[in-house]
Chain A
Amino acid sequence: MDLPGLYNYWVVVVLMMIGFYVVVASGNLVKKIVGLNIFQTSVFILYISMGKIEGGTAPIIGEGWTVYSNPLPHVLILTAIVVGVATTALGLALIVRIKEAYGTVEEDEIQQKQDNA
């Protein structure tokens, strides 16, 4: 098994697990959004790194080049990045409103205030 050659997948796995852990384990809402971002970034790297063809150049037609890297994953990831940005923006907007309503962005404090209300 070509373990060193698969280093891009290792990066994906490490980032994905870091992101997932931050989402699950952190009590601060902003940190959860950051973790979600890291998680989504790992997916972007998964797609983009799979598009690279060995010996291929950038996917712009040029004289003398016959092998090009696959442009489709790049297109898909542009869409996914936009989705990620929209999700982050929405999450942060929700956090602003939560801060106005509860005065804190720590999940356990919010839970306490909701239980007391």
Chain B
Amino acid sequence: MILAHLPALQIVVPLIAAPACLLLRRGTAAWFLALLVAWAALILSVLLLRQVLAGGPISYELGDWAAPWGIEYRVDAVNAFVLLIVAAVGAVVLPYARTSVAHELPESQHAAFYTALLLCLAGLLGVTITGDAFNLFVFLEISSLSSYVLIALGRDPRALTAAFQYLILGTLGATFIVIGVGMLYMATGTLNMMDLAERIPPVSDSRTVLVAFAFLAVGASLKLALFPLHLWLPNAYAYAPSAVTAFLAATATKVSVYILLRFFFTVFGAGYSFDLLTLNHLLMPLAVVAILVCSTVAIYQNDVKRLLAYSSVAQIGYMILGIGFVSVSGLTAGIVHLFNHAMIKGGLFLALGCVALRIGSVRIEDMRGLGRRMPLTMFSFVLGGLSLIGVPLTAGFISKLYLVRAAIEQGEWFLAAVVLVGSLLAVIYIWRVVESAYLAPSPEGTAEAPVAEAPLSMLIPTWVLILASIYFGIDTSVTVGVAQRAAEMLLGAAP
């Protein structure tokens, strides 16, 4: 009975638990409920992935209203993988959040914090699982609005302006998406994604569909922080509470990349989007610029959260680069990097949250000598950094390997070189942090007063994600297997 309704439960459980958190009033009770729900969501997403891998795409009609009139939740290999990413990050961040949030937010805001976090989780899961284009917009706005709230809860007053800037830009992006969906509805009369895929080809040269394509491309690019539209991201990540930065960095942009994949490969079709309208000719140069420019900008940052935020924009460039190859290996590279980057960046931001808890700052100069005083935390940062660079035996290496392979397959030697140069730039900015933590002497007066290691409730989730990023660099059968299946499905080779 539960197994038959997995898709609906995946959304309903976090969605109903969110107001329940608010009603619980006390922070600890709200946290505990949120923890249980996040772990339940993870179990549900694992079950869904196994069902999809065994039996092919699942189609679930909400309320038993038949598609295309009713809203359909359609889970295939791509969805199920992204659902797993989002649910896994949520399940890891929630145990961490208790101490982190207790330290960074006043007691009166805790219940509201967990409410917003569960709403964000429900929204992100909803965007991923739905098979209806307008439903996607609704869930996107649910997740976006709750993430504006979460970011605004940061201690620094600049969190407020960062959240406001993200609100303006994020709403513009989502409104562009809804304009695109409206125009598609005008041209085809349906909102169901699979139905749209069938009805677009006959009207594909009408101006309405072309403009819808353009609006959807710009809207999705804004939400996923593709190069010139990334301006909201550094401030939002730098000033948000630590648990929020880790959660959003590992989920929000990945789900937006999924939106891009879903609209341009499934709804419009790879042939229309890339052979006819050559969207990849727009995405690839922007991705290259994102990788090179944002990695370089990251080198000059003194605030490590801001450094990692610019690094995230560069890593999103890698994902878009992989997707832009429009080949099975390129798409596999892009999708596997979705997973790997979520693990790596999530782990890195969680480690930074541990640092912020103990020394109250995440600036490089304040982290001098921290390698000796907080060995476990900083070692997890080093491992995460190695994975970000793409050292062999880490997950980052797998992503870079597949990206370079996809580039060489198409004879694009310049793009393979860009991937490698990006890794070299990552070495520089990771080295800046590592040098400060391990090679610089501790600031005066602190060497005698030892800073304690971070509490276990924060260390364990950090190490879970960092070890995951190492493990999935050694045993790639699950991640690459699912990603390859997803890529083949998106390109229409296999269901």
Closest B-chain residue to A107, C-beta based?
B161
User: Which residues in chain B, 145-183, are within 8 Å of chain A measured between CB atoms?
Assistant: 145, 148-149, 152, 157-158, 160-161, 163-164, 167-168, 171-172, 175, 178-179, 182
List residues of chain B with CB within 8 A of the CB of A39: 172, 175
Q: Are B158 and A114 in contact (CB under 8 A)?
A: yes
- Given B145, B164, B168, B178, which contacts A98 in the complex, CB threshold below 8 Å? B164
Q: Is B186 close to A, CB under 8 A? A: yes
User: Which residues in chain B, 173-202, are within 8 Å of chain A measured between CB atoms?
Assistant: 175, 178-179, 182, 185-186, 191
User: Which residues in chain A, 84-105, are within 8 Å of chain B measured between CB atoms?
Assistant: 86-87, 90-91, 94-95, 97-98, 101-102
The CA-CA distance from A36 to B141 in the complex, in Å, is: 14
- Given B152, B168, B182, which contacts A47 in the complex, CB threshold below 8 Å? B182
Q: Is A11 close to B, CB under 8 A? A: no
Q: Are B168 and A23 in contact (CB under 8 A)?
A: yes
Closest A-chain residue to B148, C-beta based?
A90
- Given B160, B168, B178, B186, which contacts A97 in the complex, CB threshold below 8 Å? B160
Give the secondary structure class of A's interface: helix
- Given A87, A97, A102, which contacts B167 in the complex, CB threshold below 8 Å? A87
- Given A43, A94, A95, which contacts B178 in the complex, CB threshold below 8 Å? A43
List residues of chain A with CB within 8 A of the CB of B182: 43, 46-47, 50, 73, 76
List residues of chain B with CB within 8 A of the CB of A98: 157, 160-161, 164
Q: Is A18 close to B, CB under 8 A? A: no
Contact with B along A42-54 (1 / 0, CB 8 A): 0100110010000
The CA-CA distance from A64 to B385 in the complex, in Å, is: 72
- Given A43, A83, A101, A110, which contacts B179 in the complex, CB threshold below 8 Å? A43
The CA-CA distance from A95 to B164 in the complex, in Å, is: 8
Q: Is B134 close to A, CB under 8 A? A: yes
Q: Are B179 and A40 in contact (CB under 8 A)?
A: no
The CA-CA distance from A94 to B436 in the complex, in Å, is: 36
Binding site for A on B (CB under 8 A): 134, 137-138, 141, 145, 148-149, 152, 157-158, 160-161, 163-164, 167-168, 171-172, 175, 178-179, 182, 185-186, 191
Counting chain A residues whose Cβ lies within 8 A of the other chain, the interface size class is: 20 to 34
The CA-CA distance from A101 to B157 in the complex, in Å, is: 6
- Given B145, B152, B158, B175, which contacts A40 in the complex, CB threshold below 8 Å? B175
Closest A-chain residue to B171, C-beta based?
A87
List residues of chain B with CB within 8 A of the CB of A86: 141, 145
The CA-CA distance from A32 to B172 in the complex, in Å, is: 12
List residues of chain B with CB within 8 A of the CB of A102: 157
Q: Are B179 and A46 in contact (CB under 8 A)?
A: yes
Known contacts A76-B191, A83-B138; 4 further A-B pairs (Cβ under 8 A): A39-B172, A50-B182, A91-B168, A97-B152
Q: Are B160 and A36 in contact (CB under 8 A)?
A: no
List residues of chain B with CB within 8 A of the CB of A76: 134, 182, 191
Q: Are A79 and B148 also in contact (CB < 8 A) when A36-B171, A98-B164, A102-B157 are?
A: no
Q: Are A79 and B158 in contact (CB under 8 A)?
A: no
Closest A-chain residue to B144, C-beta based?
A87
- Given A46, A83, A94, which contacts B164 in the complex, CB threshold below 8 Å? A94
List residues of chain B with CB within 8 A of the CB of A23: 168, 172
